[in-house]
Structure 1
Amino acid sequence: MSVGIAMLVHTALDRVEQVARHWAAAGCPVALHVDLNVERDAHDRLVQALADQPMIRFCKRHRCEWGRWGIVAASQSASEMLLAEFDDLHHVYLVSGSCLPLRPVSELVEYLAARPHTDFIESATTADVPWAKGGLQQERFTLRFPFSWKRQRALFDRYVRLQRRLGLQRKVPDGLDPHIGSQWWCLTRQTLAAILGDPNRARYDRYFRKVWIPDESYFQTLVRRYSTEIESRSLTLSKFDHQGKPHVFYDDHLQLLRRSNCFVARKAWPHATRLYATFLNNSGPQNAAEPNPARIDRVFARAVEQRTRGRPGLYMQSRMPHRGAVNAPTSNPYSVFQGFAELFDNFEDWLGRSTGTQVHGHLFAPDRVAFAGRGSVYNGGLSDSAAKRDYAPETFLTSLIWNTRGARQCLQFGPADRQAIAPFIAQDPNARIAVITGAWAIPLFHSDRNFAELRRRAAKLQKIETRQLAVLRSKEAKAQARIWSLAEFMEAPMEALQDIVDEIGQHNNRTLTEAPQMADLAGFGQFLQKLKNQGMHPHLTGDFPLEDPPAIRPKRPSKPYLVQ
């Protein structure tokens, strides 16, 4: 007794020859179906190359296309040849030209011989499987599909919509309960002969010719009529991604495939020399382990997760994910400070000394990118050109964080900067944002500009910062944000700074021993009052006192302003 191999091939014919010889050398007859799309010369060369193998035959050729009837017709022709020409077969195993035997063929023969009445075929109703793709589950059996999904997609979709609109439905033949499953099956001689010799086969074939993807439903449905013992699983390791496309196995999957204990894997890359050399010369000790593809399922689950959601912060030329479709748009936590550089002199230097982090200036300043150290080029070749940064500000930031991963990055931001990046930062769970609202008024206070011009500038900056705060407080925001008004922050500045240093955590939460030098705020309250008197109400600064608080010591006399 032996196992017949029905092999459907259409490419990599050199590997087909190698694998077919492997099956035949183990005593398994092989019926090869070569896709009619393969050029005649290539087909003839394969026939000539295998002419010395009496166990290998070539069956009638059909034109095969994904989702169409030709694949079923090819399976029928190969199976009929095996049943007709080899009387000692107890099972027929359907494989493709890219299928690679993982265990010695003798183990497969013994495994099936111990289960002479068992059909191994995945067979489930459409209501019981979650993996049917394209939105066509039960409809694949009740609508007609005369057009190719791959070559005539527009006609395919329009004809489906037309049938739905007109309420057209096909009647499933009496006695059939449609099932679907993997096309790679291993059926007993009795069951396969009953399917191929069914007196109603012509009627069933006519029906399934217009079913979508009939190779996943023809045998899966008819086996339910004749089998006495079904194992609803495939002996072939065949993994699919989230789009329904099969995973390809490469040389670096060698140990993974060994752990599966499966008899056959689909689909092996034709240039995976190490895989073919290892498994086609497999002469290790006898292994009676049950095939268990679930042992490697978690690896594929992680692959799907990485492909659909990506690695945090990894943007590259071949993958620009949709917003919200990634775990995090940046690869590492980083800190954004708004208002601190305005309130404290040399804040960047102080923060760098206190935390050991890379502290940048205003990376999104209108005129130039202020990298730490003020260099013109930063890690990864990032330029300080504002024009290049503004072409893709989100990519600029993610590249900066990715190129410096392992070192915490801090940057300054404010209402005077380019604002296109603000929503992105607010929705980034890696962002740690600290905002002192109204601090933009401090540089205006220290400037020598005309007061009318200062008032207009203050109104503009406050309007921008108000929009920023709305974004930070929206339900879509995922960043960790702490917001103080200027007046609130001034009540206990060291406590707030200690919290910030602790959150960054580079120096094990040690107590601050050095305070940053605060800007000169003597007369700042009167400046805010003058803005109010001129009709511009700086409400984001909070209830800043009109008279200087005791902690503020004047360093210079307040200067007069020209009120127009």
Structure 2
Amino acid sequence: MSVGFIMLCHTALNRAAQVARHWARADCPVVLHVDRRVRRRSYDELVRKLSDLPNVRFCERHSCEWGTWSLVTATQAAARMMLREFPKVDHVFHASGSCLPLRPVQELRDYLAQRPTTDFIESVTTEDVSWTVDGLERERFQFWFPFSWKRQRKLFDLTVRLQRRFRIRRRIPKGVVPHLGSQWWCLSRATLSAILNDPRRAEYDRYFRKVWIPDESYFQSLVRLHARTIESRSLTLSKFDFQGKPHIFYDDHLRLLRRSDCFVARKIWPQANLLYRVFLSEEKEALRRAEPNPGRIDRIFSTALERRTRGRPGLYMQSRFPRPDRENSKTAAPYSLFSGFAELFEGFEPWMAEVTGTAVHGKLFAPDRVHYAGGVGVYRGGLSDSAALRDREPRGFLTSLIWNTRGERQCFQFGPGDTQALTWFLATDHNAQIAVISGAWAIPLFRSNRNFADIRREAARLQQVELDFLKVLRSPWTKARLHVWTLADFIDAPRDHLHMILDEMNPRAHLTPGVLPPMVSLDGFGAFLQNLRNEGMQPLVMGDFRVAPPRQGARQTRTRGE
């Protein structure tokens, strides 16, 4: 059993020469096609390097371009020369100049000797293809494609739109069922000869000449007319990214390539000196008899694709800055936002930190500075407490804080007096837990000794800001876990409401509020709200507070949860 290799080369000719010499020295004929666009000097140098090998040939050269018929023409020319010059070849292996053998040639010979009439070529119908990118599956066989996709993109797109609009369809040659697959195949001599010498070949060539990317469909379709046994898979390891571009293998992929058990891999980086040194060594002994199984490394490529297209949850970086609403989670971990709690409870932050064991910050978005837990000036990851730096990129500030503290839940205070740039970001983040006591911002105003006219103006401003925030939270696009109470509703059962929040933060911990922090006195708060009304400002978010101070018994009932 003999196997011959045809190689399509256009770059890195020194590496192509190394691979061709490796196969030729192993008694395998090699026919090289060198792109006509390669400079004559480089071509002559390649011929000179391989001139000492009697089983190496160079076929007629053609100018090759991606996605065009020229690649099929080059393959036909190399295949004809292989069959004519080397009559003892039983299988023809199609490779490129960037391919690299991964296993000893003798293993490939033995493998093919056990399957003398089998053709290894990926060949699937358009209905079963899931790897084409940007459409044009069945249409690539139904439309004319007279223009180059790379050089004449506007004309290419225009002809596609016109053919779709006027429902123009080409006639597929009788008996041909369009199939797609990788251009890197290994065909038996009988099948390849039948394809090249088919009496209807001129008709087939005319049709496929105007098919889009014919090198992925010509042999893949015609092999169905002549092959005795087809294994619809390639013996060459080739992986593609989400854009349809081939993955390039580097030196650090050595172990990965060995695990695949494939006979050949592409596309190899020309400077991968370690890969070429290891796999082109002079060792003649077969190392293994394993079945080629690229599926063994599919999980790694799937992970790489996931990392490339979605990134790591909550991580924003220069190498991958996603489009809005295309990020893989806005933040890296769950966190909690409390609005109104620090105003209602004295010492709420240290109490919450003790009960939950989490980092509880003050107001991270206060106008004066960032109030980190413990009052530090620089937090993890070198985050400054500067309000100016924070406000320059508030989203980056919050996402960096959550990313830098992964593994420890972050809690912080928020209110209508803070920077409101992230309201939509917070509401649409599924990692956010937002608890709001609406109207609690009025408590510091109630307890202040400021001029009442100033209090009224500030109350009107803060209420409008909070109303806008609540409107955002109640939008249909909200993904955060949301709890909103009016001030009046919350103080009716503070223990129950806090228990609900704690249980949601960590259901397995069975956290209980225990002894609540002291609640500020609200005696006279109803009269304060009435004074705001009298001054022309209508309180809307505090709930129902009576003007007269409640009876002692009622007060005790209201604060019994304390």
Contact 2:5 2:30 in 1 (8 A): yes
For 2:551 and 2:173, how far apart are their aligned partners in 1? Answer: 90
Name the structure 2 match of 1:176.
176
Name the structure 2 match of 1:316.
317
For 1:426 and 1:404, how far apart are their aligned partners in 2? Answer: 21
Contact 1:240 1:247 in 2 (8 A): yes
Name the structure 2 match of 1:451.
452
For 1:297 and 1:419, how far apart are their aligned partners in 2? Answer: 45
Name the structure 2 match of 1:131.
131
Displacement of 1:259 after TM fit?
2.6
Report matched runs for 1:69-148 at 5 Å.
69-148=69-148
The letter of the residue matching 2:333 is N
For 2:424 and 2:102, how far apart are their aligned partners in 1? Answer: 51
The letter of the residue matching 2:159 is Y
Q: 1:347 to 1:283 in 2, by over 3 A?
A: farther
Name the structure 1 match of 2:212.
212
Name the structure 1 match of 2:52.
52
Displacement of 1:258 after TM fit?
2.5
Name the structure 2 match of 1:334.
335
Cα deviation, 1:65-114, whole Å, max 9, x if unaligned, reads 21112211121111111111101111111111222222211111111111
The normalised TM-score by structure 1 is 0.91
The letter of the residue matching 1:255 is R
Displacement of 1:265 after TM fit?
1.7
The normalised TM-score by structure 2 is 0.91
For 2:518 and 2:37, how far apart are their aligned partners in 1? Answer: 78
For 1:467 and 1:482, how far apart are their aligned partners in 2? Answer: 16
For 1:475 and 1:430, how far apart are their aligned partners in 2? Answer: 17
Contact 2:356 2:511 in 1 (8 A): no
Contact 2:532 2:538 in 1 (8 A): yes
Name the structure 1 match of 2:152.
152
SS in 2 for 1:33: strand
SS in 1 for 2:31: strand
Displacement of 1:280 after TM fit?
2.6
SS in 2 for 1:150: coil
Displacement of 1:367 after TM fit?
4.1
Cα deviation, 1:445-486, whole Å, max 9, x if unaligned, reads 123333343333323322332332233233322212222221
For 2:209 and 2:388, how far apart are their aligned partners in 1? Answer: 59
Cα deviation, 1:13-33, whole Å, max 9, x if unaligned, reads 222222222211222111111
Contact 1:6 1:78 in 2 (8 A): yes
More off after superposition, 271-280 vs 522-531 = 271-280
Name the structure 2 match of 1:559.
none
Displacement of 1:200 after TM fit?
2.9
SS in 1 for 2:351: helix
Displacement of 1:502 after TM fit?
4.9
Name the structure 1 match of 2:559.
none
Name the structure 1 match of 2:519.
518
Name the structure 1 match of 2:560.
none
Displacement of 1:389 after TM fit?
2.8
For 1:452 and 1:501, how far apart are their aligned partners in 2? Answer: 39
More off after superposition, 200-209 vs 544-553 = 544-553
Displacement of 1:131 after TM fit?
1.9
SS in 1 for 2:124: coil
For 2:510 and 2:33, how far apart are their aligned partners in 1? Answer: 70
Q: How many residues align?
A: 553
The letter of the residue matching 1:432 is Q
Displacement of 1:438 after TM fit?
1.1
The letter of the residue matching 1:113 is A
The letter of the residue matching 1:257 is L
Report matched runs for 1:225-264 at 5 Å.
225-264=225-264
Displacement of 1:437 after TM fit?
1.3
For 1:151 and 1:391, how far apart are their aligned partners in 2? Answer: 43
Percent of aligned positions with the same letter in both sequences? 62
Displacement of 1:157 after TM fit?
1.1
Displacement of 1:339 after TM fit?
0.9
For 2:508 and 2:175, how far apart are their aligned partners in 1? Answer: 75
More off after superposition, 69-78 vs 83-92 = 69-78
For 1:552 and 1:450, how far apart are their aligned partners in 2? Answer: 29
More off after superposition, 207-216 vs 374-383 = 374-383
For 1:488 and 1:436, how far apart are their aligned partners in 2? Answer: 9
Cα deviation, 1:384-432, whole Å, max 9, x if unaligned, reads 3434433332222111211222332222212222222111111112112
Displacement of 1:216 after TM fit?
0.4
Q: Does 1:34 align with 2:30?
A: no
Report matched runs for 1:461-500 at 5 Å.
461-500=462-501
For 2:119 and 2:70, how far apart are their aligned partners in 1? Answer: 23
Contact 1:521 1:552 in 2 (8 A): no
SS in 1 for 2:90: strand
More off after superposition, 325-334 vs 347-356 = 347-356
Q: Does 1:267 align with 2:259?
A: no
Contact 1:355 1:506 in 2 (8 A): no
Displacement of 1:138 after TM fit?
1.5
Q: 1:326 to 1:33 in 2, by over 3 A?
A: same
Q: Does 1:43 align with 2:43?
A: yes
The letter of the residue matching 1:303 is A
More off after superposition, 100-109 vs 374-383 = 374-383
Contact 1:308 1:326 in 2 (8 A): no
Report matched runs for 1:158-197 at 5 Å.
158-197=158-197
The letter of the residue matching 1:56 is V
For 2:61 and 2:8, how far apart are their aligned partners in 1? Answer: 10
Q: 1:545 to 1:12 in 2, by over 3 A?
A: farther
Contact 1:523 1:548 in 2 (8 A): no
Q: 1:94 to 1:491 in 2, by over 3 A?
A: same
Name the structure 2 match of 1:13.
13
Displacement of 1:3 after TM fit?
0.6
The letter of the residue matching 1:440 is W
The letter of the residue matching 1:359 is V
Contact 2:237 2:265 in 1 (8 A): yes
Name the structure 2 match of 1:306.
307
For 1:212 and 1:426, how far apart are their aligned partners in 2? Answer: 46
Q: 1:211 to 1:485 in 2, by over 3 A?
A: same
Name the structure 2 match of 1:368.
369
SS in 1 for 2:93: strand
More off after superposition, 163-172 vs 122-131 = 163-172
Report matched runs for 1:386-535 at 5 Å.
386-505=387-506, 508-509=509-510, 511-512=512-513, 515-535=516-536
Cα deviation, 1:238-282, whole Å, max 9, x if unaligned, reads 222222112222333333322322212222222333333333336
SS in 2 for 1:539: coil
Cα deviation, 1:169-222, whole Å, max 9, x if unaligned, reads 322233322211111111111111121122332332232222111100111111
Name the structure 2 match of 1:561.
none
Structure 2 unmatched runs, 5+: 557-562
More off after superposition, 508-517 vs 328-337 = 508-517
